[in-house]
Structure 1
């Protein structure tokens, strides 16, 4: 079965503004995110990618543009199932405001019970289920077209990638907030008929992101996970 390279999109204008973007249209990469995307072809240069699958959202497609420019023959596929979580009425709001909502504690401690508010909101369970279904489908398609040893890439979003890692490790969804993937990080999962193997997790190619942030980490050092994914090191 194939090896999947999961790429989180580069840092976006919403990430740097600490806003939960969700499916808001027109959210682009910021200057740092564009630099991260420009470095991606070099980071993946040694991989014989068979195809790339992406979320339809702009920040993911901008992240992939340098890679596709460097490899113009690389097939690109768009799959809405690996698009961002539908955060409903939380979309577009500041993370600092959302941290005061009663639902925030559920998202942090019991995400399998969390349902985002409003008619467009989805459950975290549904988000994970559609993403896992997408990976299973693409694994079968890539293997059929390119062989069992094929490698392909997906560009998606923080919570999507975390939920896929949890699935690969056999972790309950309630533990997925213990996983961290920074912007433009690379996570690799090799699938086999018996079990998946997590080969890389949130690899940014450096360790500067491990240095403490001024004023503490996300949510002021409270230990909360940043919904939608953290903005990464400055």
Structure 2
């Protein structure tokens, strides 16, 4: 089963101005966001990433370019609209401090599976429900994961660069949580969360990692063939959790 590294984009100019950017064009990384992406790129440099999938929005594409600037044989990012930000409709471009006074804000906080954003954004895109956002993004990562497994094998590492609410929705699904619990999850700028999709269940290896050593994600070297007469080591099913936690 391949290993998926979910990365939120670095801090953007919208983050620092308190604006809900949504699909607003031209929202770039700020100086801190660029530094975050460069630092994470250095942490990722030793990982043999076989592919990278990225939201079409500028802040994610800038992050991906910086993450993949270091290391050898880095993949060219593939853009997938399904990893794009939630469509916030008429909320797009508004100050978050003002949105907190909207009646829908409480629904987004306490019952997000029922939240559907009103109206359309300045580009004419209609508002989207958070449940629809989760469904499209989970379908995307599972589809890409299956492709990676078929093309590169079960030990492959791959990268997806997306947005906070999208990543929280994917992680809630992987954890078996109802979407109404996804506000309990945090995805900070340039954080790494790690998921493996086994045949019977996903495994969440990391969440919101903002500085840990990622070297442990490098696939182990292939074992040599067992010598004749040597005792066989029982295999553990890829979907099984190791009793006691494993090593």
Normalised by the length of structure 1, the TM-score is 0.86
Taking the aligned partners of 1:27 and 1:43, their CA distance within structure 2 comes to: 25
Taking the aligned partners of 2:34 and 2:74, their CA distance within structure 1 comes to: 22
Query: Residue 141 of structure 1: SS of its match in structure 2?
Result: helix
What residue is the counterpart of 2:163 in the other structure? 157
Contact 1:50 1:75 in 2 (8 A): no
Can you give the 5+ residue segments of structure 1 that lack an aligned partner in the other structure? 207-234
Can you give the 5+ residue segments of structure 2 that lack an aligned partner in the other structure? 121-125, 213-247
Between stretches 64-73 and 129-138, larger displacement belongs to 64-73
What residue is the counterpart of 2:138 in the other structure? 132
Contact 2:85 2:163 in 1 (8 A): yes
Query: Residue 69 of structure 1: SS of its match in structure 2?
Result: coil
What residue is the counterpart of 1:224 in the other structure? none
Report the alpha carbon displacement of residue 11 of structure 1 after superposing the two structures with TM. 0.2
Contact 2:2 2:154 in 1 (8 A): yes
User: Does residue 112 of structure 1 match 2:113?
Assistant: yes
What number of residue pairs does the alignment pair up?
A: 206
What residue is the counterpart of 1:29 in the other structure? 29
User: Does residue 145 of structure 1 match 2:151?
Assistant: yes
* Deviation sequence 1:125-154 (CA, Å, 0-9, x none): 100000011011101111111111111000
Aligned partner (choices 200, 210, 219) of residue 194 of structure 1: 200
User: Does residue 121 of structure 1 match 2:122?
Assistant: no
Report the alpha carbon displacement of residue 68 of structure 1 after superposing the two structures with TM. 2.5
Report the alpha carbon displacement of residue 70 of structure 1 after superposing the two structures with TM. 2.1
Superposition CA RMSD, Å: 1.1
Report the alpha carbon displacement of residue 76 of structure 1 after superposing the two structures with TM. 1.6
Contact 2:64 2:77 in 1 (8 A): no
* Deviation sequence 1:107-138 (CA, Å, 0-9, x none): 00000000000141000110000001101110
Structure with more of its chain in helix, by fraction: 1
Greater Cα radius of gyration, structure 1 or 2:
2
Q: Please give the residue correspondences for 1:48-127 in structure 2 after superposition, counting only pairs within 5 Å.
A: 48-71=48-71, 73-119=74-120, 120-127=126-133
What residue is the counterpart of 1:212 in the other structure? none
Between stretches 24-33 and 39-48, larger displacement belongs to 39-48
What residue is the counterpart of 1:2 in the other structure? 2
Between stretches 3-12 and 67-76, larger displacement belongs to 67-76
Contact 2:8 2:190 in 1 (8 A): yes
Report the alpha carbon displacement of residue 41 of structure 1 after superposing the two structures with TM. 1.6
Taking the aligned partners of 2:165 and 2:86, their CA distance within structure 1 comes to: 7
Taking the aligned partners of 2:201 and 2:83, their CA distance within structure 1 comes to: 21
